[in-house]
Structure 1
Amino acid sequence: MRHKQRKRHHWLWKTLLGLFLLAGGGYWLWWQIGSRPIHARTYRNTHVVTVFVPGYASNSLTFGPMVSRFQKDRATNQVTTINVSATGKRTVTGAKRYDGKNPLINVVFADAKSPIKETQQLTALLHWLRTEHRVTKINLVGHSMGSNLSFRYLTTKHTDAQPQVIKYVLLASEFYRDPATQLAQFPKSVKTLIIGGQIFGAKGDWAVSLAGVKRYEQALKTAGISTSLYIYRGTPIGAYHSSLHQNPYVDAKILQFLFA
């Protein structure tokens, strides 16, 4: 009896190991195929600083891996992480200058559940970049609530010196109220890319609806803003709300939009 139980347990562990290896191999193949266009491309030097704005309850892992991948693929040669404390103090790690090839700044908010405070801190940070580091042009890349923070920044009239926003990437975000009033203040020169996810059989990425993402696109187009839309459809590994910024197909779309 014990011998049969041991054989059954041994068979079960072998099966689980086989499934794990199969899943790992499938993930590796998916990543390699998705990364192929990135590795094959060269990127122009825009000198525009790209600022990554994470979402609700985020941390350095939201955009940190993406920024590292972009550096590895030679889309940039300057990467900086700026941690903003709850009181607004900035701690800068990585590059201290922003004059290289497509400089990237990964912003990390300590108080990542306070959108009004984060918008104020983002505004102060961009003013600091403009006045202290002579950053005159930026791109904004936001995930989820980070896209909404960036949108609020873009549709607010600023009284202090701010960089000019050239391009704006909205990743896994949607409007939660009528945006007509805000969109009247949106700079018409800004080019936008909207990215959403749809898990097979679901209505979106399990956090943001596909219909909401498309409403976002339509609202921007109606306001006369240059907009393109990309929907990644697949398994939760790539299409889930928090998986979209760890997705080589999404990487490729962002890189092409910003630097191709």
Structure 2
Amino acid sequence: MKKISLILFVFMILIGSIIFYSKWNDTTGQPKLPQKNERAKVAKKETVSESIPTIFVHGYSGTKNSFGGMIKRLTKEKVATPSLIATITSDGEITYEGEFNKKEKNPMIQILFADNKSTEENQSWWLQELMQSLKTKYGIEKVNAVGHSMGGVALTNYVTAVGINGAYPEVEKLVLIAAPINGLEIGEDGITDYDLTENGPKMQTERFANFDTLKEKIPSELAVLTIAGDKENGTKSDGSVSVASALSAKFIYQSQVTDYREMVFTGIKASHSLLHENTGVDKAVAEFLWSE
């Protein structure tokens, strides 16, 4: 009798796990990647995406695990290939793990900051140093880039500071995941002084204002996808970054580039630390970067 009960118990756990896994990976009801607008279809040059590596930049307090899961899943789906892991210390020293082969299918490079709780200014400077190193050491002329949270802010700092500068790799496609472009203000009722209007945020943080001043340096051929999360708990946020702050990227990029798109994911899988574990986000990132 005990043996039968044990078998039933194990069976129920197995069934529960299958149901949970299916629900977790179910993307039903989640947004689909918007189509390019007509201007982007006409203006965008044809590129060989498989020769362009993609860098992944974590956010504040991020670690190797921040994008580790997404990189593993994209590898498992055979849409991209893991390549380098690049770590930069607080004094600008860079170490690399792995090998870079531009002939591999969509090589992925993970960027790690040893001091992962430093300032936005430091993270942005380190990213510039690292990008210059990728060009010098590996001959990388162009990259795609994916940034989560403060990583997306650092990448926006990069494209607005560097623009088209031959000393650095040019960013071909950029994905911003839950990037607080206009700060971290969240209202319990979903309303803040930084909410968006048709013309931009009601109020601008110093960060947003700085981007707005420098946005003319953004390369016109850059393609940008902004992803925001809404837990649907009344705050209109992913728990850390408001939808309004993430989507304020529109007012930095849209007027400067021919291809700007945005998506809002909803529900528990759209919480800040789970967006980069969301298979719907995986799908959108892969389609945007490598299927067009």
Q: TM-score, normalised by structure 2?
A: 0.73
Query: 1:180 aligns to what?
Result: 212
Change (3 A) 1:224 1:126: closer
Of 29, 32, 42 in structure 1, the residue corresponding to residue 22 of structure 2 is 29
Query: 1:205 aligns to what?
Result: 238
Tell me which amino acid in the other structure corresponds to 1:127. Q
Change (3 A) 1:60 1:121: same
Of 255, 260, 263 in structure 2, the residue corresponding to residue 230 of structure 1 is 263
1:99-114 alignment to 2 at 5 Å? 99-114=103-118
Of 221, 228, 232 in structure 2, the residue corresponding to residue 189 of structure 1 is 221
Tell me which amino acid in the other structure corresponds to 1:229. E
Distance 2:233 2:16 in 1: 20
Same amino acid, percent of matched pairs: 28
Query: 1:73 aligns to what?
Result: 77
Contact 1:184 1:223 in 2 (8 A): yes
Is 2:148 aligned against 1:143?
yes
Distance 1:94 1:23 in 2: 38
Of 261, 271, 274 in structure 2, the residue corresponding to residue 243 of structure 1 is 274
1:28-82 CA distance string (max 9 Å, x none): 01244349xxxxxxxx852111011110011101011111111111112342211
Distance 2:65 2:104 in 1: 24
1:127 aligned counterpart, secondary structure = helix
Change (3 A) 1:95 1:185: same
Q: Give 1:26 shift.
A: 4.2
Q: Give 1:96 shift.
A: 3.7
1:146-165 alignment to 2 at 5 Å? 146-157=151-162, 161-165=167-171
Change (3 A) 1:206 1:77: closer
Structure 1 runs (4+) greater than 6 angstroms displaced = 17-23
Distance 1:110 1:73 in 2: 29
Q: TM-score, normalised by structure 1?
A: 0.81
Tell me which amino acid in the other structure corresponds to 2:161. T
Contact 1:97 1:133 in 2 (8 A): no
Contact 1:71 1:79 in 2 (8 A): no
Query: 2:53 aligns to what?
Result: 49
**Segment drifting more, 247-256 vs 119-128:** 119-128
- Total equivalences in the alignment: 234
Give the RMSD, CA atoms, in angstroms. Answer: 2.5
Distance 2:150 2:251 in 1: 19
Is 2:257 aligned against 1:252?
no
Query: 1:14 aligns to what?
Result: none
Distance 1:18 1:224 in 2: 54
Tell me which amino acid in the other structure corresponds to 2:122. K
